[in-house]
Amino acid sequence: MSLTTLFALVLLGLPALGALLLGVAGLSNESWRHHRTIFGTLATTAVTIPFFASLYLGWVVFQSGGFTAHFGTFLEAGQWSVDLAYLIDPLSITMALVITGIGTLIHIYSIGYMKHDAGAWRFFAYLNLFIFAMLQLVMADNLLVLFIGWEGVGLASYLLIGFWFKKPSNTDAANKAFIFNRIGDFAFLVAMFLLLKDVGTLQFSGILEGVSGMPQDTLFWVGLLMLIGATGKSAQFPLFVWLPDAMAGPTPVSALIHAATMVTSGLYLVTRLSPMFVLSPEVMMIMAVVGAFTALIAATIAVTQYDIKKVLAYSTVSQLGFMFLALGSGAFVAAIFHVITHAFFKALLFLGSGSVIHTMEHAIENHDGAHDAKTPSQLDPQDIRLMGGLRHAMPITFRTFWIGTLAIAGIPPLAGFFSKDEILMHTFNAGMGEFAGPLYIVLWVVGMVTAFMTAFYMVRLTATTFHGESRLEAQLPGASKSFHESPRTMTFPLWKLAIGSIIIGWIGLPNFVVESFTGQEAHIHLLKEWIYTQAADMKVTLSYLTEWILMSVSIVVAIMGVSTGWRLYGQGQWEATDQALQNQLGEFYNTCREKYLLDEFYQRMVGHPVRWVCKHILEPIDRFGVGGVVAFFGVTTRVSGGVLRILQAGLITNYAVFILLGVIFVLALMILGPSIGGTP
Amino acid sequence: MVPEFILPWVLNLTMWIPFAGSVLLFLCGSPKRGRVMAIAFSTFSLMMSILLALQFMPSYSANVQFESVGATLSDTVRLGYVVGLDGASMLLFAMTSFIGWIAIITAPTVFSRTNNAFYGLLLILLGASLGVFAAQDLFLFYIFFELALIPMAFLIGIWGEEERTSATYNFVIYTLVGSLLMLVGVLTVGFTSATLIDGVSFSTHYDDLMAAAPLFQDLPVWVFGSFLLAFVIKIPLFPFHSWQANAYAQAPIPAVLFLAPIMVKFGSYALVRFLIPYFPVLFDAVTPWIATLAVVSILYGAMIAITATDIKKILAFSSLSHMGFIVLGLVAWNESSLQGSILQMVNHGLTTAALFLGYGYIMASNPSRHLMDHGGVASTRPVLTTMIVIASMASVGLPGLNGFVGEFLILSGAFDSTQLGSTLYAVLAALAVILAAMYTLRLLKFTLFGSPQHDFQPEDTDRSTLPKGWVLGTFVVIMVWIGFQSPTFTQFSQEWTIILLDHVQGILSTSGLSNVSPETYVPFVL
């Protein structure tokens, strides 16, 4: 085994080993479970070492190009076989770095966050399992191994959403996530069958070689089915409803799985197969429309929510919509760029919210609530209406949260600005070019509106949480004395992610800024230099002037969003502002607040009818109908039942005699056989 | 290295040791030692069958290995004791002795009213089930096939739950009707095959039958029908499944561990062992029908499981759904789907056994089959919970575990199958991945999660569940092993499948009917 393969094995295997070890240790001995810090530290190690392994592999790839690591055969049948093989190339290493890097920080954070939870041992085993599955997903060299990771992250997500299993609503949320993901997986499976049938391979290289010979029909169907698979996993319309519910899990889980990594796997898949997708303009267009639409409606919902994690969840859906818009516009590098920047600032925001929730929980629990009719248990520690005034007590959380907010709002030179600007520029480009047409200009406008709303609702969230006076104090006088900054294990990752949210955008500085001055091709977009071979990006045909104008527009929009948000919410006046918004917008506001009634729609139109059919049609059929279909046997039963009743006198000897008679009958047939049936 | 001439004897021992054990138990076992004896005999049988599996040469899987030829009835009647194993039966044989062993060693933990007769019947069941897979003579197969019915009827009828009598009637009559018809078929086939051999008037040896297969194409349709009916009842396929849910619900867990994982495989095994090679032309003709029934079974079973409230019945309907996949793979009739089906028979056996056992443990401490009476097991028994969750994930086909491998091979084969002629079967069947998640997660939610509905006895603390954890852990290890290293297992059936397809193609190409498309004589094509 060569050194590089060994490193690949460490990268892929260590998290699995960690999950196994922690799981077995926790299961086998109850007293070990109390050593939560040890469990946490071991789990962190099992992610940190792979991070360094992927750094090394990245260096190897940079030096001498990508390679494939083989670990045997996974599946074999007839004409095709699938290897348990992993692709080590710029794209997969980039993803691996994000997963293990942010994964490490979130593991560290979790040591502090789960310090008082008796189930911490399970938590860390699941978290390692997730990292293992996610690495399978991004490193796979073929669709089937990718699918191991694809469903594996679904399992980890299911286990972690339902982590506090005593509360039935948590289990419901976990089931919902799994089932909605499965809808996408169904489409994914059929896409694989189609590829096996028409191309005969599931290997990425084989598929991409075969695309030129693929009929347009196959291209369209494979693309569409994979897109449906991606909408399930990456929470796009109409399958995004599971993601907000997934916030039932512990907050580090929301940061790692439901913001930074798992939900981006659909984007990774499309980018990996981008040369195939670009050949089918219809699928690209559907993808762009779905993305823009999701981005917009999720943003409108986010403006109306009061649960700090729900706002962030809808914001995630909305940002994922941006990434799909990028894919649909043929800007695969930009999509991956936004995956990376988003991973930083969204993980930061979620961890910050976790820090806030932690202190709120503490304050509510500490307070005996003797003064008030409201008992502490009725107060929701995630409700921003109860927050406010946290800026003094938690300065680190406060500052880093603002950095995250400005980054996602798209204020330069923070990370979100560069990636979002690149996406919108490409959408405009697609609208101008021959590829797509004016529809994309509309999508660009939608994108700009969403960008404005993003800045707006994020400032609303941050201002309402940290600024103004403490509203918990009004409910529970004296409660604000319990506010405190989180422990170091939690603030350390916050700082690291905040620094990342500031500088990570600089790996993708727009080339045209230099080019417009020098007139020569520039190479300051490092990410593009690094992964362009894997991504079949559309050419940009815009003039430098247009690009400058577009960039100025997005800066203006971001600043407008932030300043409007600050003007309306900056002093903690959320109540008046929301009331005014509601009065202005009327029914539309309520629809947004009720999440467009999508959940109710699924319940009414799918859930209830399916259950009704099962219960009131299939079950009676099974009880009476099928018996009727085979009435023949029913009659036989009754007649022979009478005969058997004689035999079933309960005496074993009777049965023995019956069996003996049978044997004699059979033997007689055998022996007489030759004489009665010489010929058939 | 084991000398080769011993291996046929090892095979005989594997099968007959359980029978010998049951005789000893009936005759002279003292009540206290009954369990120990049963465990000793079944363990011995398991060891022998592991040895056989290790000695089996997968590259010659088309040949019968460890063949042991006993007495034949007479010179003119070639009917007798021939046993051996090949690519189709080796894994099923090994699975049978493993699950049978598990059923016997775990019996007292999931069922309180065990006694010597109970163990004796379990041992007969084990021997007969092994015999079904080892038989190399159709008549011998038939004898074991029927023999397995008798102890099962007693086990349900005597040790079953409150509605055991009607469940037993249903089960016995239903399957007996099917198999008695099959007996006539067996005799007809036996006489027909003898016409090829000089001086022989009757033969049911597999080799003779395979050689005579082209002749069977001209037999009356009812001969084929009698076999088909017996097997689809056994599997069971919609709408012949009405014995299933009740039998599973009423039977004691150790008996269910034979019924659900092993005995239903008799049907699917016989389908690929006899029906496809002996009657390819007729089988070809009814393919759209059977494929439709398989898809209906898959969806129907899954949908009923979504609202059912009896834990054992949910597992029964899930079994109905999963057996549909196996049948779909068999009728799709290409390399990938056939190998997938043969592997899936083993997979389904393992997952079903693990699930019934896991829920058996739960129901042993909280004796109710109703979903809503349970809950909160995860708080007190994390080991059991973990194992059940993993087995459930194998059952819903999570990649990395065994169920996925089989399902993927079957569905991708069915999607690409020229025999089925339509991709719709595979696509509809694949919908079960969503439905399976729905009923399985619902079951997990109400039994394992939530707050405890039942005060577990003090002895039900975590520590006492550890041995149970080890038992289920064995299943989990095998599930992961198959899940990641499936070629180790599919290689057992690879060569066998290729030869089978050659044989079938040979008959189809010489038979005039093969040029006629199914549509012309089957009015309904999906």
Residue A275 predicted with pLDDT over 70:
yes
First to last CA, chain A: 65
More confident residue, A398 or B419: A398
Q: pLDDT band for position B402 (50/70/90)? A: very high
Distance from CA of B239 to the nearest CA of A (A): 6
Q: A650 to chain B: nearest residue by CA?
A: B158
pLDDT tens-digit readout, A283-326: 999 999 999 999 999 999 999 999 999 999 999 999 999 999 99
- Alpha helices by DSSP H, B87-235: 90-110, 116-134, 138-147, 149-159, 164-194, 206-216, 221-234
pLDDT class of B522 with cuts at 50, 70, 90: very low
Q: What is the mean pLDDT of residues A3-25?
A: 93
Q: Mean pLDDT over residues A122-144, rounded?
A: 95
Over range B424-438, report the average pLDDT: 94
**Banded pLDDT at B163 (limits 50, 70, 90):** confident
Percent of chain A with pLDDT over 70: 90
Q: Is the CB of A618 less than 8 angstroms away from the CB of B304? A: yes
**Cβ separation B466–A148 shorter than 8 A:** no
CB-defined contacts A:B, below 8 A: 199
How many Å lie between the alpha carbon of A180 and the closest alpha carbon of chain B?
8
Q: What is the pLDDT of residue B525?
A: 35
For residue A203, count CB atoms less than 10 angstroms from its CB and return exposed for 0-12, middle for 13-18, buried for 19 or more.
Answer: buried
Integer Cα distance of B174 and A632 in angstroms: 10
Residue B519 pLDDT > 50: no
Judge whether residue B315 has pLDDT over 80. yes
User: Which residues in chain B are closer than 8 Å to A614, comparing Cβ atoms?
Assistant: 303-304, 306-307
- Tell me how far apart the alpha carbons of residues A260 and A267 are, in angstroms, rounded to a whole number: 12
Q: Do A680 and B195 touch (CB under 8 A)?
A: yes
pLDDT reported for residue A614: 83
Most confident stretch, A85-99, B52-66, B499-513? A85-99
CA–CA distance from A531 to each of A12, A271, B134 (Å)?
A: 21, 10, 57
Of A27, A193, A680, the CB nearest to B411: A193
Q: Chain A residues with CB inside 8 Å of B179's CB?
A: none
Contacts of B463 in chain A (CB under 8 A): 30
Rounded Cα distance, B298 and B292, in Å: 10
Instruction: Give the number of residues written for chain A.
Output: 680
Q: Where are the alpha helices (DSSP H) in B448-485?
A: 462-484
Burial of A168 (0-12, 13-18, 19+ CB in 10 A): middle
Q: What is the pLDDT of residue A188?
A: 95
**pLDDT at position A128:** 95
How confident is the model over A366-402, as pLDDT tens digits?
A: 775 444 545 556 788 898 888 888 888 899 999 999 9
- pLDDT of B520: 39
Confidence of residue A678 (pLDDT cuts 50, 70, 90): very low
pLDDT digits (tens, 9 = 90+) for B335-371: 899 999 999 999 999 999 999 999 998 888 888 888 8
Residue A647 has pLDDT above 80, yes or no: no
In this prediction, residue A594 carries a pLDDT of: 84
| Interface confidence: ipTM more than 0.95 | no
Average pLDDT for residues A634-655, to the nearest whole number? 51
Q: Is A661 on the interface with B (CB under 8 A)?
A: no
- Can you give the pLDDT at residue B521? 38
Cβ–Cβ of A679/B191 closer than 8 Å?
yes
pLDDT digits (tens, 9 = 90+) for A211-242: 888 888 889 999 999 999 999 999 998 899 99
**Closest Cβ–Cβ partner in B191, B335, B491 for A78:** B335
| Across B474-500, average pLDDT | 92
What's phi and psi for A600, nearest 5 deg? -65, -40
Global pTM value:
0.91
Note whether B189 and B278 are within 8 A (CB): yes
| CB-CB contact of A493 with A103 (8 Å) | no
| pLDDT tens figures, A584-610 | 888 888 888 888 888 888 888 888 888
CA dihedral B130, B136, B142, B148 (to 10 degrees): 0
* Calpha distance A497→A345 (Å, rounded): 7
| Average pLDDT of span B136-153 | 91
Mean pLDDT of chain B: 87
Q: What pLDDT was estimated at residue A671? A: 47
A211 CA to chain B: closest CA distance, Å?
19
- Round to whole Å and give the CA distance between A668 and A670: 5
In this complex, the residue of A148, A168, A183 whose CB is nearest that of residue B450 is A168
Q: Where are the alpha helices (DSSP H) in B308-415?
A: 311-332, 335-365, 377-380, 382-395, 402-415
Q: Once rounded to an integer, what is the mean pLDDT over residues B491-504?
A: 91
Give the whole-angstrom CA distance, residue A137 versus residue A271.
13
Q: Do A84 and B242 touch (CB under 8 A)?
A: no
- Asked whether the predicted pLDDT for residue A652 surpasses 50, the reply is no
> Residue A291: what pLDDT?
95
For A83-121, the pLDDT digits (tens) are: 999 999 999 999 999 999 999 999 999 999 998 888 899
Least confident stretch, A484-488, A530-534, B330-334, B512-516: B512-516
What's residue A190's pLDDT? Answer: 95
**What confidence score (pLDDT) does residue B516 get?**
43
Q: In angstroms, rounded to a whole number, what is the distance separating the alpha carbons of residues B33 and B163?
A: 31
Please report the pLDDT score of residue B454 as a whole number: 60
pLDDT of residue B512: 54
Percentage of chain B surpassing pLDDT 70?
Answer: 94
Going by pLDDT thresholds of 50, 70 and 90, the confidence category of residue B517 is very low
Q: Compute φ and ψ for A383, nearest 5 degrees.
A: -85, 120
Question: What pLDDT is stored for residue A362 in this prediction?
Answer: 85
Mean pLDDT of A4-26: 93
Question: H/E element holding B83?
Answer: strand B80-85
The SS3 assignment for A202 reads coil
